[in-house]
Amino acid sequence: MTDLEPYTPGPASGAQVRKEGDKWTLILVRELRHSPEKVWQALTDPAQLREWAPFVVDGSLDAVGATVKLTWVGNPTPIDTRVTRAEVPNILEYGDSRWELEDLGGGTCLTLWHKIDRRFIAWGAAGWHISFDVLDRLLAGKPIGRIVGADAMKFAAWQRLVVEYARQFGVEPPNWSPYTPKR
């Protein structure tokens, strides 16, 4: 991992929640300075996903019907995951996730819909916030290294994001992990 000291995530923004039972849908929107085609590659290519996403896959996510083993960081059990929609470079759906890419003429508006247990909605928002920052820097050719799972939770800024997102969503943040925050 590269030096993480210069990285500090901005304030919680671009997120909302649809509340439905115990599995809520987290909706995150981020404008990236890269073309939809470049962002699409980062969303579907296993090598690029390993550089920024909170999961790894054992194959490409670029075609409908593709089945991969998706493994979330911190959970060693792979999940058989099938791509149910792939409209290059606009829409990608698999498992509990849906991605939309809108061409902004020199950039991309990236929207993620992700179903998550309501108890961890603020954690999920904070984690994806950081992952999107890492993605943006990776695509700009200025990688800062993958920051997911326990590595993300060690940042005081991650804890700040969890509190900010919890307030936005009207929920209590989960209890903190035993990790000591880094500055």
Query: What is the CATH T-level fold of the domain 15-169, as seen in this structure?
Result: Alpha-D-Glucose-1,6-Bisphosphate; Chain A, domain 4 (3.30.530)
**pLDDT for residue 156:** 79
Query: Which residue bears the tokens 């200025």?
Result: 142
Average pLDDT estimate for 43-65: 98
Domain boundaries, the chain: 15-169
**pLDDT for residue 53:** 98
Question: Does this model's pTM top 0.95?
Answer: no
In order, the DSSP letters of 59-104 are: S---STT-EEEEEETT--S-EEEEEEEEETTTEEEETTEEEEEEE-
**pLDDT for residue 174:** 77
